[in-house]
Amino acid sequence: MTIQWFPGHMAKAKRQVSEKIKHVDIVFELVDGRLPISSRNPMLDEILQQKPRLVLINKADLADPAQTKKWETYFNEQGYAALAINSQDNKGSKSILPKTKEALAEKLQREQEKGLKPRAIRAMVIGIPNVGKSTLLNRLAGKKMAQTGNKPGVTKGQQWIRYKKDLELLDTPGILWPKFEDQEIGKKLALTGAIKDQLFHQDDIAIYALEFFKQFYPEQLADRYQLTQEDLAFSTAELLMLITKKQGFQDDYDKGSQRIIHDVREGKLGKYTLDRYEEMSE
């Protein structure tokens, strides 16, 4: 199974980002806390060049907190400011402005020494589809300025949104990249909802999810579907069949797969992180 999604509006958005990057002071790069590396667009480094960056580890409420702390440290060590947030219920958003000023301290100091009049900081908000950009912007603006949806590809254009008097934010559509060199990244993005469901086989992604939870969070998997230790010893395909029957779908493995994917996305199997810091450090 090969997963890929790069529609025309993403190519257009990439061009627009390249054109407007010179008009902003800093980039807010949103990543999904459940896959903080796999949800980073590798094209960004080329587009953003040396522009200061604040990595916002969003959906932290769904991620394994121990892993999130390690990833915050990782990004700091890479030279980026980093902050774990949850834009859905506004947790961490009050720290964004202080963290932004901290990241731009030298630039703001130089402007002050030159006698320049203080102005609002301009930030571009960027990330892959369905990572929570529009939800964050609406929280900061205090009203619905950007269209949101629990599916990828909702934002199609770009718009400026003001946060108090200190920050102006440029919303951008979610941008993926033309080819996933590692198909495991495609599976992670499919499982968390960054890719349209019509573009992959749901049973393949459900099996991937079951393999992952069996390895890293077996107790959470067992609790959700009332599985015994003997059940967990089954092959992943057999486990999918068992869970499908337990959910009342008989032999409808498509429905069983859809239920598993939905449960994983909604956090019904508990908090989890697909990108393991230990594997990255190796």
Is 17 contained in some domain? yes
- Please check whether residues 12 and 147 belong to one and the same domain: yes
- Which amino acid would we find at residue 215? Q
- Please check whether residues 97 and 18 belong to one and the same domain: yes
Question: Picking from 29-33, 70-74, 144-148, 154-158, which range would have the lowest pLDDT averaged per residue?
Answer: 154-158
DSSP annotation of 199 reads: G
Q: What CATH number corresponds to the domain at position 144?
A: 3.40.50.300
On average, the pLDDT of the chain sits at: 87
List the one residue out of 234, 236, 230 whose CA is nearest residue 260: 236
Residue where a domain terminates, one of 123, 152, 171: 171
Is 256 contained in some domain? yes
DSSP annotation of 117 reads: P
- Please check whether residues 222 and 110 belong to one and the same domain: no
- Please check whether residues 233 and 93 belong to one and the same domain: no
Is 183 contained in some domain? no
Is 165 contained in some domain? yes
- Please check whether residues 229 and 127 belong to one and the same domain: no
Number of folded domains that form the chain: 2
- Please check whether residues 107 and 241 belong to one and the same domain: no
Is 16 contained in some domain? yes
- Please check whether residues 206 and 165 belong to one and the same domain: no
Is 63 contained in some domain? yes
List the one residue out of 191, 183, 159, 187 whose CA is nearest residue 173: 159
Is 100 contained in some domain? yes
Determine whether 103 is exposed, middle or buried from the number of CB atoms within 10 Å of its CB (0-12, 13-18, 19+): buried
Is 124 contained in some domain? yes
Per-residue pLDDT reduced to its tens digit, 153-179: 444 456 788 888 889 998 887 777 666
- Report which secondary-structure segment, H or E, holds 124: strand 121-126
The residue segments making up the domain with residue 267 are 201-281
Phi, psi of 164, rounded to the nearest 5 degrees: 55, -140
Per-residue pLDDT reduced to its tens digit, 84-107: 999 888 888 889 999 999 999 999
